[in-house]
Every structure is written in C-alpha cells, then in structure tokens.
Structure 1
Amino acid sequence: MPKISALLRTLLRPLQLAALPLLMAGPLQAAPASDPQWQQTLEEAKGQSVYFNAWGGSPEINAYLQWASGEVQRQYGVKLVQVKVDDIAQSVSQLLADRQAGKQSGGPIDLLWVNGENFKALKEQGLLGAPFTQELPNMALVDGQLPVSEDFTVPVEGLEAPWGIGQLNLMVNEDEVKTPPTSAAALLAWAKAHPGRFTYPKPPQFHGSSFLKQMLLELTPDPAPLYREATDAEFQRQTAPLWAWLDALHPALWRKGKLFPTGAAETKQLLDDGELAMAISFNPQEAQSSVQNGTLPAGVRALAMEKGALTNSHFLAIPFNANARAGAKVVANFLLSPAAQARKADPAFWGDPSVLRRDALPQGTAPALRFKAQAEPHPSWQLRLEAAWAERYGQ
C-alpha cells in the first residue's frame, strides 16, 4: 500500500503468507463467551476508544469499518476509530519509535490490520503485546484448514487474529477482452495485440510487488527454490525469465511502461474510466462488489492464472503499548463474529472472504478460496524483486 523510507523498507515491507490448506494440525482453542476472564474484558472495554490503524484506500472497506464502529458502540459501549493509513508499515515504524523512546503504555495505536513482513518485524522487534487470541470466544469458529497458524512462514503464536483471505486476480472487462488471458504467455500476447490497455502498480506498492511474484511463479519451471532463502545465484537464475518477460511486456503497457500507477485504486479507476481493459486486485470478490456498487463497468469479471492465484491471509494485532487493550480484544472478537464476517464477505459491502468455518456462517456466504491457491514465496524473494525491479525500471 503506501511508500516508506528506504531505511525501513527491508524490515517493514508487507508480504503476504502462503495460502495452502491444512497448515493447522488441530482445532483452534478459544475461551467460551461465558468465560469469567472474557466477561471482565467486556467490562474493562466499556467506554474505551480503540484506534484501529488500517489501510484507508478503499471506500468499501472504510464503509464496512464505519458500520462495525456503530455495532461495537451499540453492543459493547466501545468506540472504534479507523485511522486511515497508506501502508501499515508507517504504523510499524511509529511503534518502533515508541519502543526506542521507552513509551511502554498509552500508545496511539490499539489495533493493527497487518500481515507478512510487517508482522515479522513487529514480532522480532517486540512491538506486540502478550498473546491474546486464545481469549477471543469467536476464535473457536475460525476454519483451522485455512492458513492462519503461520503468517508468511512466521508462527502466529496467538499474537494476531485472522481476519480475511486474499487472492491475486485480474479484474477483466469481458466486453473488451473476449478471451481473457490466464497464463504469462497469453497475457503478454494480449498486451502486445492491445497496446496501452494493461498495466500494474509500481513496486514496492503491494499489488505491484504481488504481480511480480505471481508472474515469477508463472514463469519459473521449478518453484521449489522460491520457498527457501534467496541466494544471489538462485535469484539470478530463477528471475531471468521474469526480466525477459517484463522487457517484452513493458513497451505494450499503458504509457508504454514509462509510468506506472501509484496503487490499486488508481489502476481500478483507469479500468472504470475505460483507459484499461484489465486491472489487478487481491480480493477475489472485488470485481463483483465493484460492479454491484457501480464503481466498475457491468462486464468486469475476476479471473486468476491457470496455475493458481497467489494467496494469503491477513490479520489483526494489538501493539505492546496499546492504550485500550481490552477494547481492542472486543473489537477483534466482533470482527470475527458470524455477522461481521458474513457482511465482510458479501460483495454488496466489501467482498473479502471469511476465515470462519462454513457451518459457522449464514448459508450462501462466499467461500474463502475462490481460485486454486499458490503459496507465497519466501520473504527474501520479494525484497530482492523490489530492489531489482527498481534498478531496472524504476526511473
């Protein structure tokens, strides 16, 4: 999502964890709603204001959080305030500064929307409080077959609560793209035949970096090395097909690959304006949701690469110096409730897939995984991809 300083980029750049089933060995443990400790948490939370740092680049997400704010105020007497950020790495750097300044309590951030390398940085730097997810009654409803016990290979260990599932897809205007491309070769051929009608956000913006990883997985004959720490030799060997493909693709892109959109919102707007015929999304329901609310043309559909969609989970975490820790737990538990998860999964509101078991959700709720899933590469590959892309194309 947003830009950060070069000094912190290698530590704080968001990565997304691999979305493969069966990563959890057994059922999730959580406190029952009647647990005395949870009842005490509810009492402590009354009257608290929870400052929730979350990406603010989507009107649908912002509207959903506004609805959630009204519900937690009505049900629990907790005030939820969304602090809109371009990139959660900004919040991580703020917490790091708090830690270095010795600010152990009264912090300005109570809850974080986080995953991947940002979670890794939070955990390694001691920027999170004690494990809390076992205290949330609704954790018992989470689908343990989804990738929620590890966050991009980093064990969660109760430090963050799963919130949703993402899959990289192309939002394609099928009124213009009669045979949508589902492979790297087909996408390159289509772009060359329709110059200026496709592009991707500029890395290290999240969607742009994710596109690089998706295409790397598409083009590599043996993906096994991508799931290990990248070495210089392996990186050079594995990415050679990707750079050759991008060299061929860029002259056919929007603005001939000399200028890239700053993020997914700009790319989506270009699709709505008719400048593009395809745009990148990490929400498999976004195309349907956007068509329903009138922010994309009626002919737009979501599709994934034939090999599978780059897939990950995203989470909620509580910082070490949160001022309203009890309130943050209450908010996180509400966001894991069947009502909140079903509304979030509904394309009419947000369309972000639920992390709850199907039997815990109202009938007809969208499935968590819409496309065949491909695991995210090891975090070291993204960091190297971003640096190499900037060196080659980042003028």
Structure 2
Amino acid sequence: MRRLTAFVSALVLLLCAGGAAAQEWDEVLARARGQVVQFNAWGGSVKTNDYLQWAAETVKARYGVELKHVRLADTAEAVARVQADKAAGRTKDGAIDLLWINGKHFAGMKEKGLLYGPFTQRLPNQRLVDTAGKPTTVDFTVPVEGMEAPWSMARFVFVHDTVRLRKPPRSIQALLEWAREHPGRFTYPRPPNLLGSTFLKQALMALSSDWSSLVQPATAENFDLVTEPLWPYLDELHPLLWRGGAEFPFSGADERQLLKDGQIDISMAFSLLEAASAMEAGLLPKTARVFGLDGGTIGSVNFLAIPFNARAREGALVVINFLLSPEAQARKADPRYWGADTVLDMAKLRPDDRRLFEAIPVHPAAPAPGALGPALPEPHPSWMELIEKEWLRRYANG
C-alpha cells in the first residue's frame, strides 16, 4: 500500500510539473507574439539564407513572431557589438536577439557574461535532443550549461571530384606526399577562416603523439611544445599549394569554386552532405564526393544563443524551439534544402516525426553510415586562437 501511495504521489508531482512547464511555455508564446527577432547568422550560403527565409515565414504564420536574418560575413562582428553594449552598460533593448555561434565565440561570450541563460530547460523540444550520442552538451570542450541550444552537427570533411581524383589521400601525411606529386592542386582557406583553422587543428592532431593537452586551455608554456610538429609540416606543404602558397582562398565557398573550376582537386567543408548539397545547388559536379581520414576527422555542433540584453527574448526562445522541432530539423537534414546532420535523438521521436527523416531521399553523393570513421573531439578554443595568431605571424605575407 505504501508503495502504491508513493507511486501515485510521484505521478501527481510529475503531472503538476508538466502542467507548470506547459503553462510557462504558453506565457512565453503569448509574450513572443508581435516581437521582431534579429537573428545574426552567417549569410554566405544561398541554401542557408533560403532555409532561414522558410523558417521566418513559418514562425510568422504560426506564432506571430517576425524573424529577420541579419547576414554576417563573420560572427565576430556580432560578438563585438554585444561586447560593446556590455562595456557601455546597455543591459536591455540590444540590437541582437539571436546568434549562431560556437567554439571560441561561445567560450568568450560565456566567460564575459554576454549571454542570457540558462534557457534550454524552458524549450519543449530540448527533450528531443541527443545528449548521449552526440556532443550537444559541450562546445569545443566548454560545458554549455544551458547557455546555448544545439542546432546541427558539423563534421570536417574533404571533397574531391572522382573523375579527376579517384583515390584521395587518407591521412595528413599522405596528403603531403600526394601534394609533392601534384603541386598546385590543393589549398585551404586562409585562417582565421574557421574552415582553414580547423584544417590546422586536424593536421596538428594527426601529427601529435599526445592529445591530452589539446582538451585543456593552451598556455604560453605548452603551446610551443605541443604545436612543434605543425610548423615544419606547413613549411613543406605551402610551396606545394595552389599558387605556391602565396595566396589562400578566403572562405570555403571560394575554395569550392576552385574545385568546381578544376583549379584544385581537393577542397574541404563542415558537412557530411557537402557534396550532395552543393551538387543540388549546382555548385559542384555530379561526380563530387566527400571523404575522411583513416583515423577520423573533427566533429562539432552548431549552437544558437541569446545575448544578455536581447530585446525580443521570448521571440528568440520561440524561434529556437521551432528550429529544434522534428519538422525544421528534418528539412535542414535534407540536402535539397541544406544538408546538415540533426541534433535530435531518433529514439525520442514519435513515429510520425521519425518518418520525416526516413522520407528524406538518399542522395547518391551521401556517404554510407560510418564510412568516414569516428568524429574526433574539438580541442579547447584557446588552441585555435593561438594557432591562428602564430599562423598569421609566419605566413600572412606569403
């Protein structure tokens, strides 16, 4: 009898908690209606922009929230603006309500108190996120602690045209050997472009015998020792690059164009579906495919955050919750619309929501599950900052 009473009491408490959460979310929806959400996000992709336009039309029709995509060339622009607000004491009515960030930008904003939160526990769709099988609770080793919501998975990959390059190199050392035999046919985006900086981290992880230091903050004492094998590698690689390493493309889009034009044979990207997505947009030939390295490549998560002084805070919560919905995540995973791996746990979805993902056509350029090897953890963001500075010191002038 006591066990039954305890079970009933626990059930009542659970139902009450669920009812309170539902009531709180209804209040968020009510306050959000009529708000204008200024979403600062990278705008360098037609598919990204089109997807956010679809999202804007949907949240406007369903929730009365107006979503405006402020297109950024570099996330640092928005971070600097929020930081300036903080320094000036502008604690409310900020110009940025929602921000697409991760890595060093999140770490810096969290440390300086530039973010609103924790807030993810307020989102109904947060319960659908995969927090066990995917790195959705840490951002470049920094605990998220509810200060940003996961949006999609990112995976560092290489891309090649199978007509020109049938068997691509499968390791960082093999890439150097291949470049010796094919000078001028490879390059990478100029750091601090995120893609180029990730290539440097990928090379460092492959050349290093001990990764333990990379998950801890970099220091003046350990930086030279840990990065010692990277610089000789780059010194040998750079003369073999496109235009002899005297110039570098400024972005992943620029490098992709070089691949399409036949000026290089290998490019890189952050998506398993890069070839499929780019092919659908006419940006790569139908013979393009992604490939990884034998030991795996770096994997990470894209996140959404709300600045500490956001004007449309409730509207931002509504937008984030929608972007975490199975409907929005399935559309984002479809290479016809974007092509980014979901952060949701399929086991947590209802059958009809799982069918949204099952209905996505299998693209011929999509890699088979597990074909690219394991996803490697991102180093602490401080390593990227110091590596970028050292790279610029050594190579910025060609």
TM-score, normalisation: structure 2: 0.88
Task: Give the superposed CA RMSD.
Answer: 2.0
CA contact (8 A) 1:164 1:354 kept: yes
Residue equivalent to 2:266:
278
Among all aligned residue pairs of Structure 1 and Structure 2, give the percentage whose two residues are the same amino acid.
Answer: 48
* Among candidates 374, 377, 384, match of residue 375 of structure 1: 377
Q: CA deviation at 1:153?
A: 2.3
Residue 304 of structure 2 aligns to a residue whose secondary structure is: strand
Q: Deviations over 1:103-153 (max 9, x none)?
A: 111111110001111111111211112321111100010011111112222
Q: 1:134 to 1:273 in 2, by over 3 A?
A: same
For these two proteins, the number of residue pairs brought into alignment is: 366
* Among candidates 114, 119, 139, match of residue 101 of structure 2: 114
Residue equivalent to 2:174:
186
Residue equivalent to 1:350:
338
Residue equivalent to 1:266:
254
Distance (whole Å) between structure 2 residues aligned to residue 132 and residue 377 of structure 1: 26
Residue equivalent to 2:3:
none
Residue 348 of structure 1 aligns to a residue whose secondary structure is: coil
Residue equivalent to 1:26:
none
CA contact (8 A) 1:160 1:317 kept: yes
Residue equivalent to 2:285:
297
Higher helix share: 2
Distance (whole Å) between structure 2 residues aligned to residue 96 and residue 156 of structure 1: 19
Bigger shift: 155-164 or 238-247? 238-247
Residue equivalent to 1:18:
none
Residue equivalent to 2:50:
63
Q: CA deviation at 1:170?
A: 0.4
CA contact (8 A) 2:104 2:382 kept: no
CA contact (8 A) 2:142 2:380 kept: no
**Would you say 1:35 and 2:22 are equivalent positions?**
yes
Distance (whole Å) between structure 2 residues aligned to residue 279 and residue 74 of structure 1: 40
* Among candidates 385, 388, 391, match of residue 386 of structure 1: 388
Q: CA deviation at 1:371?
A: 4.2
Give the greater-gyration-radius structure (CA): 2
Q: Deviations over 1:243-275 (max 9, x none)?
A: 121111111111100001111111111111221
Q: CA deviation at 1:216?
A: 0.5
Distance (whole Å) between structure 2 residues aligned to residue 232 and residue 326 of structure 1: 42
Correspondences of 1:163-178 after superposition (within 5 Å): 163-178=151-166
Residue 343 of structure 2 aligns to a residue whose secondary structure is: coil
Bigger shift: 185-194 or 329-338? 185-194
CA contact (8 A) 1:115 1:313 kept: yes
Q: CA deviation at 1:335?
A: 0.1
Residue 84 of structure 2 aligns to a residue whose secondary structure is: helix
Residue equivalent to 1:201:
189
Correspondences of 1:119-138 after superposition (within 5 Å): 119-138=106-125
CA contact (8 A) 2:98 2:306 kept: yes
* Among candidates 197, 201, 214, match of residue 226 of structure 1: 214
CA contact (8 A) 2:40 2:99 kept: yes
Residue 314 of structure 1 aligns to a residue whose secondary structure is: strand
Residue 391 of structure 1 aligns to a residue whose secondary structure is: helix
Residue equivalent to 1:14:
none
Residue equivalent to 1:104:
91
Structure 2's unaligned 5+ residue stretches are 1-16, 363-367
- Report the residue type matching 1:283 in the other structure: S
Residue 171 of structure 1 aligns to a residue whose secondary structure is: strand
Q: Deviations over 1:329-353 (max 9, x none)?
A: 0000000000100010111111111
Q: 1:236 to 1:121 in 2, by over 3 A?
A: closer
Residue 229 of structure 2 aligns to a residue whose secondary structure is: helix
**Would you say 1:310 and 2:312 are equivalent positions?**
no
Bigger shift: 214-223 or 229-238? 229-238
Structure 1's unaligned 5+ residue stretches are 1-29
* Among candidates 151, 161, 167, match of residue 139 of structure 2: 151
**Would you say 1:255 and 2:243 are equivalent positions?**
yes
Q: 1:171 to 1:119 in 2, by over 3 A?
A: same
